[in-house]
Chain A
Amino acid sequence: MKKSLLIAWKDFTIRIKDRKGFITMLLTPLLLTAILGFALNSVMGGEGGFPETKVGIYISDDDKLAENFVVDVLPTFSFVTIKESKSEEELKDLLTEGKVDVGVSFPEEWSSGSNQGALKNVTILEKPDQRTKTTLIESMLKSYSEQVQIHAVTTRTVMQDISASVAASTDEINIQQVASEIQLELQSITGGELKQVSIGEKNVGSMQYYAAAMAVMFVMFNMTLGAKSLLQERTTETLKRLSMTPTGKESILFGKFLGTLWFACIQFMVFFGATSTFFKVDWGSNLYQVITVGFCYSFAVSGLSMTIAAFVKEEKTTDVISSIGIQILAILGGSMLPIYLFPEGLKTIASLTPNKWALTSFLDIMSGTTWSELFPAISILLSLGCITLALGTWKLKTN
């Protein structure tokens, strides 16, 4: 262990001495956070988190569930302002004139097929420059529609079973009353009108979002830097020389892993301190959660660096991974654009990237979350780190 720490410290010293690289790894993310944070402040609704959104509504008839969405659901979001219109044409005009940001037009008998689990399509009118707001309203409507269908289908199924029972046929129970009670029960189980699982109590501002996003992206560069450091040791024969000292292979490789982990953790903590101090970024009220997620993510990244070093032969390849691979991972993981703007398919793919888990965890911490909600992300990051460290070490040992 002592030898591993010596190697880790040596690697850290080398990277600190590389002033150009060190500045790039620290100043660039700070600069990008400042630029993106300020530039997208208005789009992301400033420090309030979600942008002020004016929603134009047109309901073709007196569909109760559509009215429920407009009257009971939308007003619960403080950033949403509703403007009802009398026709779809008027709604389009409002949108063109900029009096609303998004238009939602409910067709006639929108919810008539809800018992069969089918709702008619709602027309969403959008302005190209209001894509974020449109996506938000679409998400709300989608969530509401799903709840409506679950309620309707579940109630219908239960009622069919009860109707067929002996008690119902002998009028021992009041079917109408049971149906109402089931509806109320379902509503309480599903948490009311809309699911609000990951939003937390506080909203996340643009500066907060990009502080977390840039931290995650730049810590990820340690994946290739760590691998490159090992490959450089192989090229310059210092790895061979290390093997000539009375040090086991495992200690040498673990030392390389620790060096990457150490630098990634320091980089994250310096970035965390700098954004908190200079940009007044609120990373949430639980410092331990921030440190834990930061460590677990750095652990995963360092493990991946060992696997890359094991399977890549040349330093140039790590440069390619660094310049292209990490950018792709950064985009997929939400470091460039917020994940909630992604289509469903991409969201699924994003879940395969470690940076997505880290970023969403940091955003959750910022908005206020519990340890139990963070547990899946922490477990995934630690498992990924352990698996890739073991795989990389095994492969490097047998090389």
Chain B
Amino acid sequence: MLQVENVLKSYDKNKVVRGVSFHVQKGESFGLLGPNGAGKSTTIGMISGIITPDQGEIKVDGLSIKKNALDIKRKIGVVPQEIALYPTLSAKENLVFWGKMYGLSRNEAVKRATEVLEYVGLGERAKEKIETFSGGMKRRVNIGASLMHKPELLVMDEPTVGIDPQSRNHILETVKELNKNGMTIIYTSHYMEEVEFLCNRIGIIDKGKMIALGTKKDLFQRVAEGTIIKISVSQLDESFLNIVKEIDEVGKVIPHPEDLTIEIFVTNHQKVVGEIITLAVQAKVDVQSLEVNEPNLESLFLSLTGRSLRD
């Protein structure tokens, strides 16, 4: 369905996307995960045809974005990060307008707008102005606008930013159902739980580069030291950190001076926890709390970059 091959994009001397490549199969739900400023939105912009890559190739259904931009735009629906709607028009008027912009006739657009509003759970508020809606409701209409022309590929750029948990769940369930019904999804977020919930395959992007790509299982296996032991201490002792690093089952050790915590990546936490406590006592480091986290995308990102996804 989608092929992104070695795309590059720079603004002045700032290289925003540096040779990103990935493929998305028809009917797949692909997650693009990365912190703010990683280059996700620029990649999405290039797939949507509004940003021209400096180098590389993007193809949708075999059509090159460089030569067939308008044809590709008919096939894809894009949910922008911002609520790109007209606040003084009603929800239905907005959807009808966007539908017509995708080539629907007036009758088709009106009919489809009613269906879409029901689908996103706002059928009863069709005639109300967008400006009167809550953030979550606006987000749902924002998604609805990109579903008007029944796109084959739905590209969603952080569609849940700044909304309440209830609306967020509604959106995630809607996206899941769309994918179940055969729509190909590309979902970008810096919330790893969302990507984990929705996507079969995931690409992790950081500083404009794809640093990991594969199924969830593949990615977790790549993190040999998948479990994180997080301990809270009274002070950060350099000698204690060095001793912990020497344990065989321990991978990376990342101290966080700002909140006096240490994250320790381990392969066998049951074996190591006791040893770490003992070493702490010997080093006269007061351990105030300890938690064990199973491997997830957050830990993967942390192990790859040494930074948190939300840094």
Interface residues of A, Cβ cutoff 8 Å to B: 3, 6, 10, 13-14, 17-18, 236-238, 240-248
Contacts and interface: CB of A to CB of B under 8 A. Distances in A.
27 contacts: A6-B100, A13-B89, A13-B93, A14-B86, A14-B88, A14-B89, A17-B88, A17-B89, A236-B82, A236-B83, A236-B84, A236-B85, A236-B87, A237-B80, A237-B81, A237-B83, A238-B84, A240-B80, A240-B82, A244-B49, A244-B50, A244-B73, A245-B98, A245-B101, A246-B71, A246-B102, A247-B101
Contacts, number: 59
A237 B101 contact: no
B50 A238 contact: no
Given A10-B86, A18-B88, A236-B84, A241 B100 contact: no
Contacts of A238: 84-86
Contacts of B101: 3, 6, 242, 245, 247
A14 B84 CA distance: 15
Contacts of A237: 80-84
B97 A246 contact: no
A259 to B, nearest CB: 12
Contacts of A243: 49-50
Interface string B265-288: 000000000000000000000000
A6 B99 CA distance: 11
Interface residues of B, number: 26
A242 B46 CA distance: 15
Contacts of B86: 10, 14, 236, 238
Nearest to A243: B50
Contacts of A247: 101
Nearest to B70: A246
B97 A6 contact: yes
Interface string B61-97: 0000000001101100010111111111100010001
A163 to B, nearest CB: 78
Interface of B: 48-50, 70-71, 73-74, 78, 80-89, 93, 97-98, 100-103, 145
Nearest to A248: B70
A10 B74 CA distance: 21
A241 B84 contact: yes
B75 to A, nearest CB: 9
Contact of B97 (A10, A18, A236, A244): A10
A17 B87 CA distance: 11
A10 B90 CA distance: 12
Contacts of B100: 6
Nearest to A235: B82
A241 B80 contact: yes
Contacts of B98: 241, 245
B108 to A, nearest CB: 14
Contacts of A240: 50, 80, 82, 84
B97 A245 contact: no
Nearest to A236: B84
Contact of A246 (B74, B80, B85, B87): B74
Contacts of B81: 237
Contacts of A14: 86, 88-89
A363 B149 CA distance: 52
B283 to A, nearest CB: 53
